[in-house]
Amino acid sequence: MKQFTKLMLPLLAAGLLINAAPVSASEAIVKKARCVACHAVDSKRVGPAYKEVAAKYKGDSKAPAQLFEKVRHGGSGNWGNVPMLPHPADKISDDDLKAAVAWILSLE
Domain boundaries of the chain, sorted by first residue: 23-106
Q: 2-9: long-range contacts at Cβ-Cβ below 8 A with a sequence spacing of 24 or more?
A: none
pTM of the model: 0.76
Report, as an integer, the average pLDDT of 4-11: 53
pLDDT digit string, tens, across residues 63-103: 999 999 999 999 888 898 899 999 999 999 999 999 999 99
CATH architecture of the domain with range 23-106: Orthogonal Bundle (1.10)
Which carries the bigger pLDDT value, residue 16 or residue 103? 103
Do the beta carbons of residue 45 and residue 39 sit within 8 Å? Answer: yes
pLDDT in tens, 44-67: 999 999 999 999 999 999 999 999
